[in-house]
Structure 1
Amino acid sequence: MKYFLFSMILFLSGCMSKKESIYSVAENPWEESLGNHRAVLQVEESAEAALIDIDWRRHDRDPAEKRFIIIHESGDTIQNIHRIAVDNERCKLAFGPLKKPGKYFFYYLPYLVQENYGFYNKGYLKPEAKPAADWEHKLDVAKLLKARLIDFQSRTEFDNFYPMEVIALKSEKDSLLNRHPQDFLIFPEDRLFPIRMLDEIPQKWIESGPSTVFKGEALKNEYYAFQLGVFAARKDLQDLKIEFSGLQNDDHKIAADKLTCFNTGGIGPYGDPFVKRVDLAQGNVQPLWIGVDISKDIPAGTYKGTASVWAENTEKQTVQLSLKIGNEMLADRGDSEAWRHSRLRWLNSTLGIDDEPTNGYKPISFIGESTYGFTGKTMTIADNGFPGSFKVKETEVLNRPISFVVETPKGQEQFSEPQNIQLVKNAPGKMIGAWESYSDNLKISGVGTIEADGYINYKLSVEALKPVEAKDIRLEIPFKKEVAEYMMGMDLPGGVVPKKHSAKWNGPHDSFWIGNTHAGLWCELRGSSYSGPLLNLYRPDYPASWYNDDQGGFRIESTPSEVKALVYSGKRSLEKGEELTFEWSMLLTPVKDIDYKSQFTNRYYHNGGQPVPSDEDLESGVKIVNLHHANNYNPHINYPFVAVDSMKWFVDRMHEKGQKVKIYYTIRELTNYTTELWALRSLGDEILGDGRGGGYPWLREHLVSNYRPQWYQWFPDKSADASIVNAPGDSRWYNYYIEGLAWLVRHVDIDGLYLDDVSYDRRTVKRIRKVLDREKPGCLIDLHSNTGFSKGPATQYTEYFPYMDKLWFGESFMYSDMEPANWLVEVSGIPFGLMGDMLHGGGNRWLGMVYGMTVRHPWVTEGVTCDPRPVWKVWDEFGIEQSKMVGFWEKEPVVLTNNPQVKATAYIRDGKTLIALGNWSDETEKVKLNLDWDRIGFSSANARLITPEIADFQLSAQFAITDEIPIESKKGWLLIIEEGKQ
């Protein structure tokens, strides 16, 4: 709001056009359903009809297809409207009868209000009914009383079209072109007036005319932003370019490399510079957003220079730049005042890009004999150049070396041992090696990468030295049988490894994991365009090499000693010199040791629109508040920079109560409240995704076209939060996002992130982790996903796991229908060194305790809530954070039952053990417990069984240790065994 007030003050005090403005903002917003815009008319006397004939200069599409509503200031609605001429430039109509003189409000964009959240699925009201025939028959347009236009009003400042979305008339554009014969015209603009229309020019430019002079005012240490609007007046412009001279003031200079045009190049999300081609169709506008990096030590004064603009098919035009720098110094480059647009420089940030290990992981070590050490893991390279051994602590994962096989009608190609081996990078957190291998027909150029957290990537370029008919090109990963207990991915939910399985590229299915809770391996198949998890919303093309026009696929083959995973690509013909790229990534699991204490003590408060926990909630042990979006403290999705003061107030209050605060802040979509929205739009489809438009009316009225609407949140007191989808793949928005995260930690003092289905890859997550750890040690990240959306989120997001603190894989998970192995592999996080919480439908509180899981308090889904506080109370009374968790999945569990449908987990501590029982059967079952008394620490003869009463969980009961215990279907018990007499 500060930005809007500031811009309005500046606007009213001197930035208006020469003639008085006929555009204003309503003092009090009118009823939302009437739309965001109206014309205020004055009628001097009563009449049967009056005439409106106004140039309303509208940019939105199809103005004649919306309903018109005209209301007298007394509240009376006009009954008849006769349309004469309605298009984007002009509105001419008659209306009546007019029973009273005075003001009439003409609403021309009314729509259906959707008072909820999700996806806006309503729209504008259809045109009004035809006027009464007897009234219309009497009209004589030439003699009608004329209504006078007072002004055009917007419902709020956020809805305002003026001045940058008020179009020029065709006649005005024709006159402009007659006066200016250049191929393109330049219109300099201050940052206060972002250029919004890309296919029209504003009336403002007609009045000001083009110019080759820009003057601005800045402060020391400011990153100053401004625009040059390029209008392709007479022809298409090919490969638009800009060049700066630098800015000079006497003996002091701002060097040319301190001026940046964000539209023509920058730094990509992985630190690589790039140049961007900008073409501009005739009649369209290209805003060139320019940043000037002003040092804090520069003397005050006026600095002058030039910016030369041209295309490869035009003459160069030179803009004279004049920047007056004042004596005042900005402490933070201007970042705390969004209207300055100084944060555009974040687009080119490299923050967090380095090859150091993240916290918790040691540098890679070379142990010898082709063996490399990670934190708790080792990898040995075999003679073929691929891993021959993966060990997680003392557990070997592979039965024999991984192999990359090219099969022809004559058999498998025999490749040489690696040659021309080069160490490309040798850093503490990352090592890269390159090599070549040859067969009679093929050359493999390989690049292998290992990282400190147990991540491995192989990228092979396979070149045909002569024509080759390949029967198959495949990857074979042979797992030890005793390790390959569980599997997920490639069209399988998490579960027990099948003896045989096959899958094709439908799904998405691009990855799999095989292993157990002590050791395992995740593998993902990639192509050259890989940029993140293969989600439904952001599904990149399948890797061409592996997919091979749907001839590729996956299968499992088992023998008594191994489980072999094969990724095959099928038959193909290679011409001499033809190259294919095969890429895959792997990650050794578990990625870390489970932090059980954190699971049982760092309890989450997660309550969307009402994020403030009560004193009672705090007394129950809540330690972390997740601040979702769509509330007063974080109102706008994925852009937590609008209500910074409110968020800071909230964070400070929670810190006073001993709570950490993590915020919802991701990348998938972006709110329409984004200050830099128009600058981002000027970058084409680099950051903001393309689409058919539509959605919430604000988007239709301002963005108009070439966007895809996404999440919608209605607010009763302001314009809705209406997001649009970001472009798929990598973009500089990752850089902005990470800089923004660092800024939020420094200035708002947040304690981490709540991630909700994001699409960037592990490189970005690693940057996030480093930035959080360096800015504020102890920051946390938890990851939420939806199995219906991600098609197996644990597989899709495995590459994130080294940097996560907790999982919340719960949406669309039907807990009571899931098998025990499915819980373990897909939801619990345990095989990966993490733990999680439940979500959908309140979870299943009994089965969840077998994995140490509860729901988050007081989240409600599907109209169901499951209060975890009664279970938390038992945790605290028992002291579960001091216990050792031993689940049924272990080779030697502490508790077994005599029924395979009933699973048990023990939480062991000195003098007592908590046992969680869960019945997966559809029937009530009776079970006896088989206990390992040596590990419990006392004998059965000196033990008693306690069944505490737990609200909404179980009634107190009397069982002896030797009793058969009845358990209802899909329910369970929490039992405590203590040393002492029964």
Structure 2
Amino acid sequence: MPLYLWACVLGCATGLLCAWSEELPPRGVGGWPVADLGNHRARVVVDVQAAAVRVHIPWRRRDADPANKAIIVVDAATGQRLRNVFVASVTREAGDVVFQPTTAPGEYFIYYMPWTADYIQWNYVTHYTPPSQTADPEWLAALGLSPDGPPSDRWRELPAAKVVAIEARTQFDRFDPMEVIATKEEIETLLAAHPDAPYLVFPEDREHPIRMTDDLPVRWIELGPRQEFRGEAQPGEFYVFQLGVWAARQAIDNLEASFSDLRPTSGPPIPAGAIHRFNLSGIDWLGRPLKREVSVPQGKVQALWFGVPVPRDAKGEYRGTIVLRPANAPETHIGLKLSVRGQVLPDAGDGDLWRLSRLRWLDSTLGLDDEPTPPYTPVQAAGRAVSCLGRRLRFGTAGLPESILAWGHELLANPIEMVAEAGGKKLNWTGGNARLLRKGKGSAEWESLSRAGPLTMSVGAKMEFDGYVNFRVSIQAREECALQDLRLEIPLRREKAKYMMGLGRKGGFRPEQWDWHWDINRCNNMVWLGDVTGGLYCKLKWPEATWELYSLHASGLPRSWWNDGRGGCTVREEGDRVVFRAYSGARTMKAGETLDYWFGLLITPVKPLDPAHFSQRYYHMGPAPVEEVLKCGANIINIHHGNDLNPNINYPFLRAAELKRYVDAAHEKGVKVKIYYTVRELSTRLPELWALRSLGHEIFVPGPGGGHSWLQEHLISDYAPAWHHIFPDGDVDAAIATTGLSRWHNYYIEGLRWLLENVGIDGLYLDGIGYDREIMKRVRRVLDRTRPGCLIDFHSGNEFPFGDLRVSPACKYMEHFPYINSLWFGEGYDYNETPDYWLVE
């Protein structure tokens, strides 16, 4: 008996009313090539010869506008498209189509979401074919059909063709089972069976990830809401499952979930505190506890993903309870029964992507420590002086630098100041009590508290082993005061500020003066001033950690520095010094108000050149045979994405076995292999996609949708299309954009470790960098500790003219330079530029 019929019988037997108006055809894969026919079709059989037949297609589709898409009927025997076709009815639930068969008996393919596309990798556009009338007017008239008005019911008397299957073009394109929608009648019946429930809970295993938030899958009509989840796990496995919460009759506010211990019939329990609640809590990219608020609007579905770490010595049946507690609705108790049997999984199941055990990587803290990475030495601190490899900083009583040495060269002409102006005069900071708070191998921290007139300034700073210094300057008004300006002043020796790059200026000789203003469409809020022997990089920051690549829309403009458009920066040559000023302009501070002026400094050069660099020769034409690489004189291979070994952008796990065989063959010949693997956009082919989507905008940025047809048909909305790699057969690896900093970076770090241990890659090829220096430090530590000798090769095109971003990659990514082995700039650059430009950029 088909599952849906059995579920109906069972539901009726238990008092659940079922309303099946039709038998659903089976679903499968058709395997037709990429063309203009789309990804979905119905296979229809015509048994009799007739001038016209009708067919009812219960497609149960997700798209909101099915009537705006064409329907194409093709004779399977001849491959010819039929012209005499009339669409009598189209809804999301079903469609009725009338056509004149050309072969009878015969089979026909009815394609109901056809599209064409503009195949541009960085701007892929799908055009769904609109409906058009191709039928002979005489044929329509004979049937009493009119394209200009509502049809008569005569078509219902026509011989009926039969839908024998609903097919997707590929396995990846399939809607079933979790994207086949329930009908309105079925949902009403479900609600009637639970008349008092404000929300319903549908437990699901990992093999059926919840995909829809606006519709219920027909699978949930078949199975109904349940009060228990049952799963089977192996010893040592990180077992993942879901609960789907449907806010059926009201919005659900601030949903919480708690567990009891999972107790076996004998032996120690799995403690409740060990169970991961990915949608509700976790560990962020800096190792801080993360708590997420989950609310579900009325009528919407929210998936809650959980993970149970099963001990290696576990066996038998474990039982426990999950309690869902909305703030505005009764709690629900769900029983949890986990049967543990089979062989121990030493890797927690990570070797089998379908298990989704790698979701625990979202909460990883790998690489989060204070240890310096080679070639850096431990930080030294004494009094008010802090030093690292080749650099030394001495801070004054207010906590700001009064001396900066770069490899023996003094950079500052005078101490750095935070200047406050009020009443036409400069306020003097007094009472500074700067003191060293703590020192570890990798960093030293200090703080100070000063006063000037009605203002109090607290300075917290942290200098790290790579020469980067973070400053957290907070200014509080003890009483209301009108200020002409609050600004940061960095006075450099003129001979040490020969060159400049940043603040919307290309690299090269520094001009005598430069002005810059905040622009939300450009993330060029950083500058480097210096010479070959020493320089200083400064980046203006927010109190919240951000990493923006192209604009500041996600983070917004900083209230302190920007000050409603009054803030900006200047660079001025003043006698024997060059002064960088980051001003915020006039404002009135209320009593008790605090403004945060955060910024970072990097003292350059960051490290000595590695002599091994000059013996490294790269092959960057794809995964060619190793013998061919050796003939070219190369000893390092970079494998990009979009090929047989690494087909999916930033998810190099789907063909890991093939990649390992290639890496092993290269190692036998003494050749290193590095791969493209970063964070910025993410292939939608990853098995964890739907779990990540359930996290809202934590991992994926919001956006207008669009892009490849798969994105529009399955993700529907609320995403930003990114890179699309087009394969020779026309298939596409479509990616969507990820957020600047999130728990996905924890996963990325663990993924890197896995690749080093299980594939043996020798490092990374980065084309753009989708994370800040905090993540880069973790990347470097994992590379060095897991597989010493690994390399990071960084490439970027010239972003200054690209989209008029007015930022040089060498400036934007300078904070990463301490951890990079080699740079590969050149794409999009003007090769007729002057030598000073090439020296700096």
Structures share a fold, TM > 0.5? yes
Whether the aligned pair in 1 keeps the contact of 2:399 and 2:461 (CA below 8 Å) is no
Aligned to 2:743: 732
Does residue 221 of structure 1 match 2:236? yes
Q: Are 2:667 and 1:655 aligned?
A: yes
Q: How many residues align?
A: 807
Which residue pairs with 2:698 in the alignment?
686
Alignment of 1:455-854 (within 5 A): 455-506=468-519, 507-536=522-551, 540-595=555-610, 597-607=611-621, 610-612=622-624, 615=627, 617-717=629-729, 719-727=731-739, 729-788=740-799, 789=802, 791-816=807-832, 818-826=833-841
Q: Secondary structure at the match of 2:816?
A: helix
CA shift in 2, pair 1:654/1:13, >3 Å: farther
Query: Of 44, 54, 58, which residue of structure 2 is paired with 1:51?
Result: 54
Q: Which runs of 5+ in 1 are unaligned?
A: 1-11, 827-982
Q: Tell me the CA shift for residue 261 of structure 1.
A: 1.3
Q: Check conservation: 1:787, 1:811, Cα contact below 8 A.
A: yes
Match of 1:79 among 77, 80, 83: 83
The residue type paired with residue 802 of structure 1 is P
Q: Partners in 1 of 2:35 and 2:237 — Cα distance?
A: 39
Greater Cα shift, 391-400 or 76-85:
76-85
d(CA) in 2 for partners of 1:373, 1:142: 86
Q: Equivalents in 1 of 2:719, 2:255: separation in Å?
A: 24
The 1-side partners of 2:811 and 2:553 are apart by 16
**1:247 maps to 2:262:** yes
Q: Decide which moves more: 207-216 or 558-567.
A: 558-567
Deviation at 1:142, TM superposition (A): 3.0
Deviations along 1:131-167, whole A, 9 cap, x unmatched?
A: 2211111113132111111010111111111100000
* Partner residue in 1 for 2:108: 104
Per-residue CA shift, 1:873-892, capped at 9, x if unaligned?
xxxxxxxxxxxxxxxxxxxx
2:187 match: secondary structure: helix
The superposition leaves residues 555-592 of structure 1 with CA deviations (integer Å, 9 ceiling, x where unpaired) of 12223321111111111111111110001100000000
Q: Does structure 2 conserve the Cα–Cα contact (< 8 Å) formed by 1:398 and 1:478? A: yes
Letter in 2 for 1:665: Y
Assess if the C-alpha contact under 8 Å between 1:385 and 1:417 holds in 2. Answer: no
CA pair 94-111 structure 1, distance change in 2 beyond 3 A: same
* 2:329 aligned residue (294, 298, 314): 314
Q: Quote the Cα distance in structure 2 between the aligned partners of 1:27 and 1:697.
A: 17
Q: Which amino acid aligns with 1:220?
A: P
Question: How far apart, CA to CA, are the structure 2 residues paired with 1:681 and 1:158?
Answer: 17
Distance across 1 between alignment mates of 2:285 and 2:268: 33
Corresponding residue of 2:20: none
SS, match of residue 329 in structure 1: coil
Shift in Å, 1:180: 1.0
Q: In structure 1, what is the equivalent of residue 135 of structure 2?
A: 131
1:452 is the counterpart of 2:465: yes
Q: In 2, are the aligned partners of 1:47 and 1:96 still within 8 Å (CA)?
A: yes
Letter in 1 for 2:464: E
- The normalised TM-score by structure 1 is 0.80
Mapped contact 1:520–1:589 kept (Cα < 8 A): yes
Q: Which residue of 2 aligns with 1:273?
A: 289
Q: Secondary structure at the match of 2:322?
A: strand
How far apart in 1 are the matches of 2:383 and 2:224?
73
Please give the per-residue CA displacement for 1:424-462, whole angstroms capped at 9, x wherever unaligned: 442111222222111221011221111011111111110
Q: Does the 8 A contact of 2:768 with 2:794 survive in 1? A: yes
- When residues 500 and 405 of structure 1 are mapped into structure 2, their CA distance, relative to the original with a 3 A threshold, is same
Residue type at the aligned position of 1:350: T
Aligned AA (2:743): R
Query: Corresponding residue for 1:236?
Result: 251
* Partners of 2:31 and 2:168 within 8 A in 1: no
Aligned to 1:292: 308
Q: In the alignment, which residue of structure 1 is the partner of 2:26?
A: 23
**1:786 CA displacement:** 2.3
Cα distance in 2 between the residues matched to 1:804 and 1:757: 12
Q: Shift of the alpha carbon at 1:695?
A: 1.2
Question: Could you tell me which amino acid in structure 1 is paired with residue 495 of structure 2?
Answer: E
**2:24/2:58 contact within 8 Å kept:** no
CA contact (8 A) 1:753 1:780 kept: yes
Assess if the C-alpha contact under 8 Å between 1:512 and 1:523 holds in 2: yes
Larger radius of gyration: 1
Query: Tell me, which stretches of 5 or more residues in structure 2 are unaligned?
Result: 10-22, 144-153
Distance (whole Å) between structure 1 residues aligned to residue 130 and residue 540 of structure 2 = 50
The 8 Å contact of residues 73 and 105 in structure 1, kept in 2 or not, is answered as yes
Cα 1:324/1:63, change in 2 over 3 Å: same
AA aligned opposite 1:48? A
Q: Is the 8 A contact 1:533 1:797 kept in 2?
A: no
Deviation at 1:13, TM superposition (A): 12
Question: In the TM superposition, what is the alpha-carbon distance from 1:274 to its structure 2 partner?
Answer: 1.6
Aligned counterparts of 1:672 and 1:436: Cα–Cα separation in 2: 50
Aligned-pair CA distance for 1:101: 1.9
Structure-2 separation of matches of 1:185 and 1:616: 61
Tell whether the 8 Å contact from 1:123 to 1:695 is kept in structure 2 after alignment. Answer: no
Aligned to 2:146: none
Supply the distance in 1 between the matched residues of 2:4 and 2:386 (Cα, whole angstroms).
67
Which SS does the other structure have where 1:88 is aligned? coil
Distance 1:627 1:92 in 2: 50
Aligned counterparts of 1:684 and 1:510: Cα–Cα separation in 2: 29
1:24/1:89 CA distance change after superposition, 3 Å = closer
1:169 aligns with 2:183: yes
1 or 2 for the larger relative contact order (CA 8 Å, sep ≥6)?
2
| 4+ residue runs over 6 A deviation | 12-21
Please, which of 45, 56, 75 is the counterpart of residue 42 of structure 1? 45
Report what 2:429 is aligned to: 415
Counterpart AA for 1:514: L
Q: 1:502, 1:802 → 2: CA distance?
A: 29
Q: SS state of the match for residue 622, structure 1? A: coil
Q: Distance in 2 between matches of 1:369 and 1:224?
A: 52
> In the alignment, what sits opposite 1:90?
94
CA 408–810 in structure 1, closer or farther in 2 if over 3 Å, else same: same
Do 1:397 and 1:520's aligned partners in 2 also have CA atoms closer than 8 Å? yes
Alignment partner of 1:120 out of 124, 128, 135: 124
Structure 1's 538 and 810: CA in aligned 2 closer, same or farther, altered over 3 A?
A: farther
1:258 aligns with 2:274: yes
CA distance in 2, matches of 1:539, 1:117: 24
Alpha-carbon separation, structure 1, partners of 2:614 and 2:4: 61
Q: Which amino acid aligns with 1:486?
A: Y
Structure 1 SS opposite 2:138: helix
Contact 2:60 2:182 in 1 (8 A): yes
Work out whether residues 229 and 337 of structure 2, in 8 Å CA contact, stay in contact via their aligned partners in 1.
yes
CA-atom RMSD, angstroms? 2.0
Question: How far apart in 1 are the matches of 2:229 and 2:730?
Answer: 35
Q: CA deviation at 1:617?
A: 4.2
- 1:59-70 maps to which residues of 2 (within 5 A)? 59-70=62-73
- Post-superposition offset of 1:759: 3.0
The separation in 1 between residues aligned to 2:202 and 2:486, in whole angstroms, is 57
How far residue 382 of structure 1 moved from its aligned partner, in angstroms, is: 2.2
* 8 Å Cα contact 1:17/1:204 also seen in 2: no
Letter in 1 for 2:796: S
In structure 2, distance between residues paired with 1:82 and 1:691: 36
- What's the counterpart of residue 151 of structure 2? none
